[in-house]
Amino acid sequence: MQSLPSHNRHLNTSSVSPRLFRRLLIMAILGFSAIWAIDFSSGLISPFDASAYPICILAFALMYILNTVTKLNHQSLHFITYFIVAGYLTSSSMWHHSAPNGQFSNAAQWLGLNYVIAYLFLEVKKAAPTTIVVFTVTIIGHFAVLIQQQSFNDTMGVVLNIAIAHIIYIFLLWTVIRLRIKTDKAAARADVLENYAYIDLLTRILNRRGLEKVFTELNLDAEEQKQSYAILVVDIDHFKQVNDIHGHLIGDKVLSHIAAKLSRVIHPNDVLGRWGGEEFIVLTLNRTPQQVITLAENLRAGISLLKIDDIAGITISIGIAYSSEANTNSDVFTLADQRLFAAKQAGRNTIRSHD
């Protein structure tokens, strides 16, 4: 845990998770099955729907299986599922508008779902051109069907009504999506600013404020979830000499390389941060004292092998304290800091703990 968790927001992706997608597929299967059963039992089912319903149900079932057992791109499955629905709704409306299948049928009233589903299932960057294609096919298809049996004026009246209604659908949905994108972008910027507040920009690890936040969030002092932990205070030996001899730019480079090395050595669940200056903090959870000492030795040995430009022989001193030695993490830190001082007094490049 070397940085604070952030909220992942994908501004150009669908908001439908794999689990929600499966639920929607189940709802589609049940919905189509119910309508099929009702139309069949009432004797109102059309020849088109008698064939289309089972095909759609089987297609939804296949999408469910593919979403569950394969590693196919979920956006591709969303896209295919969308065209199953859009294809059925558009072709059904066109069929019902053709003679002698029930001209001016109310099947067209469902066509608005084509645009709602597009912005629900698809990425925003794909939903916009997709709705334009579906809109174009819908208008041209209905015109081609109606002109065969109606006058030009009657055909244009129906087609224009459909077109106006669908343009309103698309405009309103696009407006909602734009508002959502703006909201997501604002939230993403807030996340970035929050991240900057808790991350040390030089070393790209937690800063002092970030460490304090993580300590608070872990609630280390809570009696009901008391957990074992150790705090390691790590300090670069003679770092002032590096700045004095080589300059602060090289000193910054040394800090960055040491932070990167510490990050590679600790466990992913450990917390690493820069407390200030040349001092770093490692919080490690649920390790035995021997494991903590081993970690500290690995940190010390790893740093001693570093060569940064012409600088070699860099060493660190480490003070260690354990949760069993104090009642609060603040007291544990103070104890670790005292032991760091003892390590410095003992000649540096060494480790001090309770044993």
349: left (phi over 0), alpha (psi -120 to 50) or beta: left
CB count within 10 Å of CB 355 equals 7
Half-sphere CA count of 41, side-chain side, radius 13 A: 6
Q: How confident is the model at residue 10 (pLDDT cuts 50, 70, 90)?
A: very low
Instruction: Please tell me the distance from the alpha carbon of residue 82 to that of residue 63, in angstroms, as a whole number.
Output: 11
Q: Residue 218: give its domain's CATH number.
A: 3.30.70.270
Q: What is the pLDDT of residue 106?
A: 54
**Is the torsion defined by CA of 50, 53, 56, 59 positive or negative?**
negative
Lowest mean pLDDT across 87-91, 120-124, 307-311: 120-124
Q: Which of 194, 224, 278, 325 is the catalytic position?
A: 278
C-beta of residue 11 within 8 angstroms of C-beta of residue 73:
no
Q: What count of residues does the chain have?
A: 355
Give pLDDT tens digits for 253-262: 999 999 999 9
Task: Please indicate, yes or no, whether residues 175 and 216 belong to a single structural domain of this protein.
Answer: no
Instruction: Please tell me the distance from the alpha carbon of residue 209 to that of residue 345, in angstroms, as a whole number.
Output: 28
Q: How confident is the model at residue 224 (pLDDT cuts 50, 70, 90)?
A: low
Q: What is the pLDDT of residue 300?
A: 96
Task: Please indicate, yes or no, whether residues 227 and 324 belong to a single structural domain of this protein.
Answer: yes
Task: Please indicate, yes or no, whether residues 88 and 213 belong to a single structural domain of this protein.
Answer: no
Please state the φ and ψ torsions of residue 308, each to the nearest 5 degrees.
-115, 110
Residue 4 lies in a domain: no
Task: Please indicate, yes or no, whether residues 308 and 253 belong to a single structural domain of this protein.
Answer: yes
**Is the torsion defined by CA of 282, 285, 290, 294 positive or negative?**
negative
Q: What is the pLDDT of residue 44?
A: 79
Task: Please indicate, yes or no, whether residues 270 and 153 belong to a single structural domain of this protein.
Answer: no
Q: What is the pLDDT of residue 169?
A: 86
Q: What is the pLDDT of residue 102?
A: 56
**Is the torsion defined by CA of 186, 191, 194, 200 positive or negative?**
negative
Give pLDDT tens digits for 180-194: 778 878 888 877 777
> What integer best gives the mean pLDDT of the chain?
87
C-beta of residue 236 within 8 angstroms of C-beta of residue 316:
yes
Q: Give me the torsion for CA of 210, 211, 213, 214, rounded to 10°.
A: 120
Instruction: Please tell me the distance from the alpha carbon of residue 350 to that of residue 230, in angstroms, as a whole number.
Output: 17
Residue 26 lies in a domain: yes
For this structure, is 278 an active site residue? yes
pLDDT at 103 over 50: no
Give pLDDT tens digits for 261-307: 999 999 999 999 999 999 999 999 999 999 999 999 999 999 999 99
Residue 5 lies in a domain: no
Q: What is the pLDDT of residue 100?
A: 65
Beta pairing class for 229-236 and 271-276: unpaired
Task: Please indicate, yes or no, whether residues 293 and 329 belong to a single structural domain of this protein.
Answer: yes
Question: Which residues have C-beta within 8 Å of that of residue 8, sequence separation ≥ 6?
Answer: none
Task: Please indicate, yes or no, whether residues 332 and 254 belong to a single structural domain of this protein.
Answer: yes
Residue 307 lies in a domain: yes
Task: Please indicate, yes or no, whether residues 173 and 236 belong to a single structural domain of this protein.
Answer: no
Task: Please indicate, yes or no, whether residues 73 and 151 belong to a single structural domain of this protein.
Answer: yes
Instruction: Please tell me the distance from the alpha carbon of residue 295 to that of residue 311, in angstroms, as a whole number.
Output: 24
C-beta of residue 5 within 8 angstroms of C-beta of residue 37:
no
Q: How many domains does the chain have?
A: 2
C-beta of residue 259 within 8 angstroms of C-beta of residue 205:
yes
Q: How far apart are the first and last CA of the chain?
A: 27
Residue 203 lies in a domain: no
DSSP state of 249: H
End position of a domain, from candidates 164, 193, 222: 193
End position of a domain, from candidates 168, 193, 218: 193
Task: Please indicate, yes or no, whether residues 31 and 175 belong to a single structural domain of this protein.
Answer: yes
Task: Please indicate, yes or no, whether residues 34 and 167 belong to a single structural domain of this protein.
Answer: yes
Q: What amino acid occupies position 74?
A: H
Give pLDDT tens digits for 127-174: 888 889 999 999 999 899 889 888 999 889 989 988 998 999 888 888
pLDDT at 2 over 90: no
Expressed as residue numbers, the domain containing 338 is 208-352
Sheet bearing 316-322, strands edge to edge:
271-276, 279-285, 229-236, 316-322, 351-352
Task: Please indicate, yes or no, whether residues 188 and 212 belong to a single structural domain of this protein.
Answer: no
Residue 102 lies in a domain: yes
